[in-house]
Amino acid sequence: MAAIPMIELWRGGMLESVHAGHAVICDEKGEVIEAWGDPAAVIFPRSSCKMIQALPLLESGAADRFGLSEAQLALACASHNGAHIHTDAVGRWLSGLGLGEADLRCGPQMPDDAEALKELICSGTAPCQIHNNCSGKHAGFLTLARHLGAGPEYVEPDHPVQQAVRAGFEAVTGEASPGFGFDGCSAPNFATSLAGLARAMAGFAAADPDGSLRERAQVRLWRAMVAHPELVAGEDRACTLLMRAMGGRVAVKTGAEAVFVAILPALKRGIALKILDGGTRASEAAITALLVRIGALEAGHPVAGRLLSDPVLNRRGAAVGEMRLSPGFAG
């Protein structure tokens, strides 16, 4: 099945752009209950699956052994802006392990946070690996490696950390991964179908806080995300805005190249979507539309307007266009 048009941009009464993609909603049994495009389309989930990558950190006992806080669990799932609330926390985490910035394997990155960026530029200081948006995930990997007594090259696919990640990933998606690519942070990113990714999110949503070891880990991770949305992303980011707008009832996570997922515990549903052209504005609009459709987000909420239905403004503040849902998607 082909991808379907999802998000349109209209200007001057004419259709200017169309973003096509795939989206899936799964129930607590892992069954596909709604789909647009091809549920079997295989993708790299990129950073949308960080909560899956963090499962071995909890299931192994590493998180409890090293006394990780809820905020640190949120950072393990984060694609953060590199603000001080992120970098200071990751620095303290590493120091508590007796490690430092040089032990990370994610590479340096200029921060997206405006104040942090200004601080670096004005001081003439180069960014370091702690500024990398994935440094929290990597601190989690290092914690697991320390717990396992494994070597320092924790991003290698045959390293015990990544072997544990793959095993957990395949278990919760219900699929053998057909392969992996290396993410921007150098960690392996295991491929799966959209249905597999939505199934994994539904598993998090349906997990019993008093259930199995895995279920308890899943609940701790999504609860950490909704309790600390500013750590998962940052101020003025779609993930933060959406989780706040839904009052901590739903966890959402973006990934590079326009992947987005949602965990809806009250409904025991999981959502996964992928926009084929990699356009972030479209993935943010599409997940917003699906959250409204499923009843998790009010259509009239200001965040829904900002990400989906408000007029497109030019630099003088005049309305010059609008985004619309394509016919047949999430209406």
Q: Determine the pLDDT at residue 32.
A: 98
- Residue 297 belongs to domain with CATH number: 3.40.710
Q: Which amino acid is at 32?
A: V
What's this model's pTM, rounded to 2 decimal places?
Answer: 0.97
Residue 75 located in a structural domain:
yes
Residue 118 located in a structural domain:
yes
Q: Determine the pLDDT at residue 330.
A: 84
Residue 331 located in a structural domain:
no
For helices 160-173 and 135-148, angle between their N-to-C axes, nearest 10 degrees: 110
Could you list the residue range(s) of the whole structural domain that residue 10 is in?
4-325
How do beta strands 311-313 and 4-11 pair? Answer: unpaired
Residue 40 located in a structural domain:
yes
Residue 34 located in a structural domain:
yes
Domain count, the chain: 1
For helices 194-206 and 213-227, angle between their N-to-C axes, nearest 10 degrees: 90
Residue 106 located in a structural domain:
yes
Residue 330 located in a structural domain:
no
Q: Which regions in the chain score pLDDT beneath 70?
A: none
Residue 134 located in a structural domain:
yes
Residue 130 to residue 287: CA distance in whole angstroms: 29
CA pseudo-torsion sign 68, 74, 80, 82 = negative
Residue 327 to residue 223: CA distance in whole angstroms: 35
Q: Determine the pLDDT at residue 331.
A: 75
